[in-house]
Amino acid sequence: MSLPTRVAQIALPALIATPGVLFAQNVESSWDFYGHLNLGIISVDDGFDTETGLTDNDNSNSRAGVMFKQGLQNGAEFRFNFETGLGLTGSSSISLDDNSFDVDYSRTELRKVEIVYASPTLGTFWFGQGSTASDGAAESDLSGTSLIAYSSPQDLSGSQEFRLASGAGSGVRGGDVFNSFDGARRFRIRYDTPKYNGFVASISAGTEVLASGNDDEYYDIGVTYGRDYGDFNVAGGLAYSIRDSAEELLVGSAAVLHTPTGVSFALSGGSEQQGDASYFYAKAGLQRDWFAIGRTALSLDYYGGDDFEITGSSSSSIGLAVVQKLDAYNVELYATYRTYEFESAGSDYEDLDVTFVGARWKF
């Protein structure tokens, strides 16, 4: 029996029983139904052909969820959260060979099925399908454009194939050579400490239960930071992840926003501890209230990776993004242009150029 399973057998009865004892002391509770649709038109040029199609935006895929909250004694809270993707064809899964838009729902669309006990003095205990302690460690970003441009450029073109200069397919796809090493959502047990001077430490142990034929185990430890210093908002994260005892990853990120000017900067980086692959990501952003309809955000970012897929290779991406909020309708309009380059000894690859225009509506 795996360690995550043994821990779950011990922790689950305690997490369920604790709020049951305290419910009678505080009847305050709430249900919140939420979600968003995030669709757009993507156009991909691989140096020889161009294809355009409708797709879901995998930077923040369309989803729906429900959150139940129950107040407890001494400021504690019990929560149940269910959240799922909608199964719409996503930008990271389409290619020039297959860019059809359809609905294909499977259990891998489940994002969260978890119970949570949060205490201001004891910290937060999580059980079920949800974020590991390393999820989000690579994604500190205060630019306002992360729904279309952030440290994981493969979410926009993970299945697009690089063409060789001859026009032949290379077998190398965006998801092979771009990666932020960020954590994910697994069936796990997790503990977060109370916040202290902006810092929260987390630890989790979990396993893959949604993908057939995959029972890999995941062990993560991380620290997040968030605090305001006068006119500056600061956020950051650092995490170490062990995946099935065969892959060890170190990843971190930091971001700062100067609220009076709307200028922001973000950095992210990570590396394999039992391999050579590594990356660096940098982003500059500007947010202003130029229009009465809502805030406008602009950004320019760069990603550079080494030794992905092929030893000695390099991958890079530059992206421009704009997001316009429509406050009255809970809508964000956005557009991005991103170019992808991949280089390795002995082969000449064409660049990928991707344009994406879309909208996210929150409900």
List, for residues 159-214, the tens digit of each pLDDT value: 999 999 999 999 999 999 999 999 999 999 999 999 999 999 999 999 999 998 88
- Given a cut of 70, is residue 113 above it in pLDDT? yes
Cα 101 to Cα 88: distance, rounded to the nearest angstrom: 7
**Could you give the C-alpha distances from 363 to 13, 33, 67, 124, 164, in angstroms and in order?**
34, 8, 13, 27, 44
Per-residue confidence (pLDDT) for residue 212, from 0 to 100: 87
- Given a cut of 80, is residue 298 above it in pLDDT? yes
- Given a cut of 90, is residue 245 above it in pLDDT? no
Give the whole-number percent of the chain exceeding pLDDT 90: 87
Structure tokens at 159: 């299945």
Contact 154, 173 (CB under 8 A): no
83-94: b (≥16 Cβ within 10 Å) or e: bbbbbbbbbbbb
Return the closest-CA partner of residue 96 out of 144, 43, 147: 43
Handedness of CA 117, 122, 128, 129 (dihedral sign): positive
Return the closest-CA partner of residue 180 out of 151, 158, 159: 151
**Which of residues 299 and 215 earns the better pLDDT score?**
299
- Given a cut of 80, is residue 253 above it in pLDDT? yes
User: What number is the average pLDDT over the span 135-148?
Assistant: 98
Per-residue confidence (pLDDT) for residue 87, from 0 to 100: 97
Contact 27, 19 (CB under 8 A): no
Per-residue confidence (pLDDT) for residue 258, from 0 to 100: 98
User: What number is the average pLDDT over the span 16-20?
Assistant: 50
The residues, ordered by sequence, that sit 6+ positions from 350 with a Cβ below 8 Å of its Cβ are: 46, 47, 48, 162, 163, 164, 165
Helix (H, G, I), strand (E, B) or coil at 138: coil
| 10 pLDDT tier (thresholds 50, 70, 90) | very low
Contact 39, 2 (CB under 8 A): no
Per-residue confidence (pLDDT) for residue 306, from 0 to 100: 98
**Which of residues 343 and 21 earns the better pLDDT score?**
343
- Given a cut of 60, is residue 79 above it in pLDDT? yes
- Given a cut of 90, is residue 24 above it in pLDDT? no
Structure tokens at 68: 């139940």
Q: What are the DSSP calls for 183-203, one per residue?
A: --EEEEEEEEPPPBTTEEEEE
pLDDT in tens, 82-105: 999 999 999 999 998 888 999 999
Contact 96, 44 (CB under 8 A): yes
Mean pLDDT in the chain?
93
Q: What is the pTM of this model?
A: 0.91
The neighbour count for residue 137, using CB atoms within 10 Å, is 30
87 φψ region: left (φ > 0), alpha (ψ -120 to 50), beta (else): left
Identify the weakest region by mean pLDDT among 117-126, 239-248, 279-288: 239-248
Helix (H, G, I), strand (E, B) or coil at 97: coil
Give the whole-number percent of the chain exceeding pLDDT 70: 92
